[in-house]
Amino acid sequence: MAKMTIRDIEVSGKRVFVRADFNVPLDEKKGTITDDSRIRATLPTINYLIDKGAKVILASHLGRPDGKVVASLRLAPVGQRLAELLGRPVTVLNDCIGPEVEKAVASLANGQVILLENLRFHAEEEAGTPAFAQALAHLADIFVNDAFGTAHRPHASVSGIAAFLTAVAGFLMEKEIEMLGGLLEKPARPFAALLGGAKISDKIGLIENIMGKIDYLLIGGGMAATFLKARSYEVGKSLLEPDRIATVLKLMDGVLRSGAHLLLPEDVVVSDRTDGAGQVKGVPIQSIPPDMRVVDIGPQTVSGFTKAMRQCRTVFWNGPMGIYEVPQFAAGTQAMAKVLAGLKATTVIGGGSTAEAVADRGLAAKMTFVSTGGGASLSFLGGERLPGVEVLLDKKGVAGGY
């Protein structure tokens, strides 16, 4: 990787501000963490800094408090779980800036860890306010970005802080860039992209950027309805983006012109309700009822997608195959997770809800790499420049580029 990491700088005795992504799912009633994958993903960086005698200052957001203090979104549960994983105390502060925070940081000994309170309790975080970024920077000597999941956001703690501190990548950030960058630069072929999720508008840049690099493009999820509509199929009350049909037609033509195979659903699961309480049935795509909507891919499609992926040496998956949160509509997504877990290929999961679906099935460890960034991975693979990566120093000591 062209970017400098914590290996490339002296951290012993330094105050190191680590922007982590501890935006973990919570059981709101119990106030407990339901999936600690994002915390575990940052452990190599934190442990390295501890071992090197750095004074570790961790910072993250949690949820969408919209610039206000929301008790249910405090980071105390994260701090508790992190302490268990590290096997050492983690002091959780009541704020992320101010005199009390500065006092706590000043008392840190080498190898000790503190966790700042939810950054988004301050509206200035998401606004990228320079004064707020400077206040955060005042706490530290070095900035380490290990939060790939927020790297596409120009927030104060993601990119703004780098204007005041030496900025390098953590080990998770390094791995994300290397794994996702490898898909664009040198994927083992045949290479398949399995794409789902609700909207095609979220995936246009990705498809355009990987066109010519992929051998198979497999389309499922809610976005499949727009592809089917573009081919003049009845899609009933399915989620549809009519303003994207012309774009979809161009994408499909481009994929086929590139020599890749385009696989759309052959059969689907439809329902008259999205909560699982209505009528549910499987139909071929030629027979989607006008009063029902597509909620999952069908078994014939699962079979076709499986056959294609088993011929590949690299598979990238982003987006569930249906409304997987509803058990009746989760079969397609679960089947794809199981298939990828059994492939003798490089399997990369594109974060977000796809990563959650894989984790829910206990299959994350069977994948080559599970990205921690949903939107960030789409932006990166779509060829966009990520503010949180751009500001990091490269091996020549200059910020910018990858």
Give the model's pLDDT for residue 28.
75
Domains contained in the chain, number: 2
Domain boundary among 116, 151, 174: 174
Q: pTM of this prediction? A: 0.91
Establish if 331 belongs to a structural domain: yes
Residues 42 and 152 grouped into a single domain: yes
Domain boundary among 140, 174, 208: 174
Note if 375 is an active site residue. Answer: yes
Establish if 398 belongs to a structural domain: no
Residues 342 and 203 grouped into a single domain: yes
Establish if 215 belongs to a structural domain: yes
∠ CA 96-100-105, nearest 5°, is: 70
Residues 71 and 193 grouped into a single domain: no
Give the model's pLDDT for residue 47.
98
Here the CATH number for the domain that contains residue 340 is: 3.40.50.1260
Report d(CA 108, CA 215) in Å as an integer.
53
Secondary structure in 3-state letters for the chain: CCECEHHHCCCCCCEEEEECCCCCCEECCCCEECCCHHHHHHHHHHHHHHHCCCEEEEECCCCCCCCCCCHHHCCHHHHHHHHHHHCCCCEECCCCCCHHHHHHHHCCCCCCEEECCCHHHCHHHHHCCHHHHHHHHCCCCEEEECCHHHCCCCCCCCCHHHHCCEEEECHHHHHHHHHHHHHHHCCCCCEEEEECCCCHHHCHHHHHHHCCCCCEEEECCCCHHHHHHHCCCCCCCCCCCHHHHHHHHHHHHHHHHCCCEEECCCEEEEECCCCCCCCEEEEEHHHCCCCCEEEEECHHHHHHHHHHHCCCCEEEEECCCCCCCCHHHCHHHHHHHHHHHCCCCEEEECCHHHHHHHHHCCCHHHCCEECCCHHHHHHHHCCCCCHHHHCCEECCCCECCC
Give the model's pLDDT for residue 352.
85
Report d(CA 90, CA 6) in Å as an integer.
21
Give the model's pLDDT for residue 2.
85
Establish if 362 belongs to a structural domain: yes
Give the model's pLDDT for residue 19.
98
∠ CA 111-115-117, nearest 5°, is: 165
Note if 199 is an active site residue. Answer: yes
Residues 155 and 224 grouped into a single domain: no
**CA 20 vs CA 46, 72, 184, 259: distances in Å:** 10, 19, 25, 41
Establish if 24 belongs to a structural domain: yes
Residues 251 and 154 grouped into a single domain: no
Residues 95 and 159 grouped into a single domain: yes
Catalytic-labelled residue, pool 53, 182, 276, 375: 375
Contact 351, 41 (CB under 8 A): no
Which amino acid makes up residue 232?
S
Residues 62 and 202 grouped into a single domain: no
Catalytic-labelled residue, pool 199, 273, 313, 338: 199
Parent domain of 282: 187-381
Q: Please, which residues bridge with residue 333 across strands? A: none
Report d(CA 327, CA 323) in Å as an integer.
8
Length of the chain: 402
Residues 104 and 166 grouped into a single domain: yes
Residues 79 and 166 grouped into a single domain: yes
Domain boundary among 143, 174, 205: 174
Catalytic-labelled residue, pool 196, 351, 352, 374: 352
Give the model's pLDDT for residue 35.
86
Residues 261 and 120 grouped into a single domain: no
Residues 165 and 195 grouped into a single domain: no
Establish if 241 belongs to a structural domain: yes
Establish if 387 belongs to a structural domain: no
Residues 342 and 217 grouped into a single domain: yes
Catalytic-labelled residue, pool 38, 55, 213, 244: 38
Establish if 269 belongs to a structural domain: yes
| Average confidence (pLDDT) per 10 residues, the chain, 402 residues | 92 98 87 90 97 98 96 96 98 97 97 98 98 98 97 97 97 96 93 95 92 96 96 95 95 95 98 94 97 97 98 97 95 97 96 89 94 90 94 80 58
